[in-house]
């Protein structure tokens, strides 16, 4: 493993999309504010997931395609940090590349975006959606509408929408708000309507096991850390990712954590929602416990649930 020799220089690895760079700049600005003596740079790179846009993620390898190049740069010493949207990270993280901190959570909800100048959905065109998790829950909200996959960065998706290819897009509020595009949001979906992806709205800072990160002192948001850890434990237990529409959303209330989860039964396409409450200090255990309980309860119970 290559060591970075210049001690006062921090190089942050980032995907090259506008949103990814902006999110890396948020971490860069925090470090520079706390430690003005450090020289902080951002190294951008196109990941495999950014290059393959003609197929859905479950067909080409899942979330790992968005981190492979960033992980390689970390391991080779070309970068010292990577900044990710937590929801885009695989559930399995290499031991030598630990997650160091989670940011304060931005709005975790999913939203509806319509073409510019349009106020109502055109039922003759499909809704654009990038995940099976959203597709599953949209079938209940808009049973009369076709839901069609859409890939690409946020600007690419909005351009396709405004060019008339879709009646609307389902996107994460967090990305739109960070880019100053909140005015494009036509409707917010409550967590009861569309349960968010695990980690949605949270930035994850990843580093190397053999380096010290004193300059990140104070960056970690405790509520996001507990909630995100519980959500990821839930999804990991169920082997969820891009190929399985599993979802989880946690809220810290004092010393307690309230966690909601979505369990998908592949044999008949039905899904179920349930929740658990417990000490926030046991966040990962709560995630696993809820996942196990839902799997045990619903896997062989052929009644109830909502059908895709």
Strand partners, 11: 41
CB 83 within 8 A of CB 27: yes
Q: Which residues pair with 101 in a beta bridge?
A: 205
Cα–Cα distance, 126 to 302 (Å, whole number):
31
Q: Which of 88, 107, 110, 289 is catalytic?
A: 88
Provide the 3-class DSSP secondary structure of residue 98.
Answer: coil
Q: Give 43's Cβ-side CA count (13 Å radius).
A: 18
Distance, in Å, from the CA atom of 295 to the CA atom of 168, rounded to the nearest integer, reads: 33
The sheet carrying 110-113 orders its strands as 147-149, 127-129, 168-172, 110-113, 185-188
Task: Decide if 301 is catalytic.
Answer: no
Residue 69 backbone class (left: φ over 0; alpha: ψ -120 to 50; beta: rest): alpha
Active site residues: 88
């Amino acid at each position: 493993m290559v060591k970075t020799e210049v001690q006062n220089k921090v190089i942050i690895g980032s995907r090259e999309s506008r949103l990814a760079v902006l999110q890396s700049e948020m971490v860069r600005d925090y470090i520079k504010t706390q430690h003005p003596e450090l020289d902080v740079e951002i190294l951008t790179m196109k990941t495999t997931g950014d290059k393959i846009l003609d197929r859905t993620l479950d067909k080409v390898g899942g979330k790992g395609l968005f981190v492979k190049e960033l992980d390689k740069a970390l391991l080779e010493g070309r970068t010292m940090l990577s900044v990710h949207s937590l929801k885009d990270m695989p559930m399995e993280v290499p031991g030598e590349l630990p997650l160091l901190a989670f940011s304060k959570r931005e709005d975790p909800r999913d939203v509806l975006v319509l073409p510019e100048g349009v106020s109502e959905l055109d039922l003759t065109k499909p809704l654009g959606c990038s995940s099976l998790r959203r597709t599953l829950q949209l079938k209940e909200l808009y049973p009369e509408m076709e839901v069609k996959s859409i890939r690409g960065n946020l600007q690419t998706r909005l351009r396709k929408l405004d060019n008339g290819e879709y009646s609307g897009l389902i996107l994460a509020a967090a990305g739109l708000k960070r880019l100053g595009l909140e005015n494009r949001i036509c409707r917010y979906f409550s967590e009861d309507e569309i349960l968010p992806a695990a980690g949605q709205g949270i930035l994850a800072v990843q580093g190397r096991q053999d380096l010290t990160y004193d300059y990140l002192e104070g960056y970690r948001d405790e509520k996001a850390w507990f909630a995100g850890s519980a959500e990821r434990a839930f999804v990991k237990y169920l082997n969820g990712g891009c190929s399985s529409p599993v979802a989880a959303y946690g809220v810290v209330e004092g010393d307690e954590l309230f966690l909601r989860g979505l369990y998908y039964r592949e044999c008949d396409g039905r899904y179920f929602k349930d929740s658990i409450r417990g000490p926030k200090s046991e966040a990962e255990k709560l995630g696993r416990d809820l996942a196990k309980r839902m799997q045990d309860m619903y896997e062989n119970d052929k009644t109830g649930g909502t059908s895709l």
